[in-house]
Amino acid sequence: MSTRHVLGLSGGRDSAALAVYMRQTYPDLPIEYFFTDTGKELPEVYEFLGRLEGFLGRPIAYLNPDRDFDFWLKEYGNFLPSPRTRWCTRQLKLRPFEKWVKSDLESGTEIISYVAIRADEPARTGMQSTHPNLKIKFPLQEHGLDKAAVVELLESSGLGLPTYYDWRSRSGCTFCFYQQKIEWVRLKRTHPEAFEEAKVYEKTALEHGSPFTWSDRESLSELEQPERVKQIEEDYERRLARAKARRPKNPLRANLTDVEVDEAYGTAEVSASCIVCHK
Ligand code: SF4
């Protein structure tokens, strides 16, 4: 039986650190790196992947879905995806991967997929293999690498964090519904054209009776009003101050001084993200 080793990159911190770890620890393992491109990613993601590719010294395969977001949006009656109906992940992230490995799996090749679940995260359901020849491995978890270790791996490799971490806590689509309110405000400021595009999608969805807006309980047109923006920013500052005060001081974890956006909102990182898109 022949074997392929594959490692999916999301453009986020954990999968990049896993790639660095595997490159450094198992330099001879012929790992194929891949990125499933929804076509709606931040420009910073492509920039980061370009730098990562240079570090790894191997090409990253870009897997494009055969049909784009607009196609699937129509298929789903113009209803926006949401945490409960995450058709976007299925159609734009998982299907391209399945298509990429399908013929090899069916012809008996063993595929080992390395997934970036950290040691400080609970095991995730939904990560089971969907084919007897597909094996899933969690090297960060197996080797006790937590969030601090991941940051350390990226810093010491010279890659650092993707630049969007300055204003947003996750990779994935510009309009991802997992974003917190403050991240929508920052998206409008940082990439106004992406915010406008999300507004157009939302307007069409609402006209077609979609029960979901991108952000909980308000449309982007409401969220972008100056008074509302001020409220969101003040609320975030209060949350941030509370989260910082709550955090126990740990000199051994000095490189983890920043409170992440989800932490400030009191949302567990695990429930506020998607393993495929945001790792
Ligand atoms: S990043 Fe968000 S919107 Fe994009 S596919 Fe993933 S869950 Fe869906």
Distance in angstroms (rounded) separating the CA atoms of residues 250 and 236? 24
Q: Identify the pLDDT of residue 123.
A: 67
- Rounded to 10 degrees, what is the CA torsion of 145, 147, 177, 115? -10
Q: Which two tokens stand for residue 130?
A: 């969907």
Q: Which residues have a Cβ under 8 Å from the Cβ of 6 and sit 6 or more positions away?
A: 31, 32, 33, 34, 101, 111, 112, 113, 114
Angle at 24 between CA 63 and CA 47, to 5 degrees: 40
Distance in angstroms (rounded) separating the CA atoms of residues 179 and 216? 10
Protein residues whose CB sits closer than 6 Å to any atom of ligand 1:
38, 81, 86, 88-89, 92-93, 172-173, 176, 178, 274, 277
3-state SS, 187-234, equals: HHHHCHHHHHHHHHHHHHHHHCCCCCCCECCECHHHHCCHHHHHHHHH
Compute the distance from residue 202 Cα to the ligand 1 centre, in Å: 15
Confidence of residue 210 (pLDDT cuts 50, 70, 90): confident
Q: Identify the pLDDT of residue 244.
A: 87
Q: 60 - beta bridge partners?
A: 33
* DSSP one-letter string for 154-169: HHHHT--S-GGGGT-S
Taking 70 as the threshold, does the pLDDT of residue 179 lie above it? Answer: yes
Return the ligand 1 atom nearest residue 277 CA: 6
Closest residue to atom 4 of ligand 1, CA basis: 173
SS3 of 99, please? helix
Compute the distance from residue 245 Cα to the ligand 1 centre, in Å: 32
Q: Identify the pLDDT of residue 61.
A: 97
Taking 60 as the threshold, does the pLDDT of residue 125 lie above it? Answer: no
Return the ligand 1 atom nearest residue 274 CA: 7
| 123 close to 142: Cβ distance less than 8 angstroms | no
Taking 90 as the threshold, does the pLDDT of residue 193 lie above it? Answer: yes
Helix (H) or strand (E) holding 134: strand 134-137
Q: Which two tokens stand for residue 57?
A: 């010294």
Q: Identify the pLDDT of residue 1.
A: 76
Q: Domain residues of the chain, as ranges?
A: 3-164, 181-278
Query: What values do phi and psi take at 34, rounded to 5?
Result: -140, 155
pLDDT tens digits, one per residue of 100-120: 999 999 999 999 999 999 999
pLDDT tens digits, one per residue of 66-101: 899 999 999 999 999 998 888 999 999 999 999 999
> Which single residue is written with the structure tokens 């915010």?
195
pLDDT tens digits, one per residue of 142-178: 999 999 999 999 999 999 999 999 999 888 899 999 9
Query: In terms of CATH architecture, what is 3-164?
Result: 3-Layer(aba) Sandwich (3.40)
Q: At residue 255, what is the residue type? A: N
Q: How far is CA 81 from CA 69, 89, 175, in A?
A: 10, 9, 10
Closest residue to atom 7 of ligand 1, CA basis: 89
Q: Identify the pLDDT of residue 202.
A: 97
Compute the distance from residue 36 Cα to the ligand 1 centre, in Å: 11
Nearest C-alpha neighbor of 62 from the set 70, 52, 71, 72: 52
Taking 80 as the threshold, does the pLDDT of residue 4 lie above it? Answer: yes
pLDDT tens digits, one per residue of 242-269: 988 887 766 655 555 577 888 888 876 5
Taking 70 as the threshold, does the pLDDT of residue 186 lie above it? Answer: yes
Closest residue to atom 3 of ligand 1, CA basis: 176
Distance in angstroms (rounded) separating the CA atoms of residues 127 and 154? 25
Compute the distance from residue 42 Cα to the ligand 1 centre, in Å: 12
What does the mean pLDDT of the chain come to? Answer: 91
Compute the distance from residue 175 Cα to the ligand 1 centre, in Å: 8
| 202 close to 194: Cβ distance less than 8 angstroms | no
Q: Which two tokens stand for residue 146?
A: 């937590």
| 174 close to 197: Cβ distance less than 8 angstroms | yes
pLDDT tens digits, one per residue of 12-64: 999 999 999 999 999 999 999 999 999 999 999 999 999 999 999 999 999 98
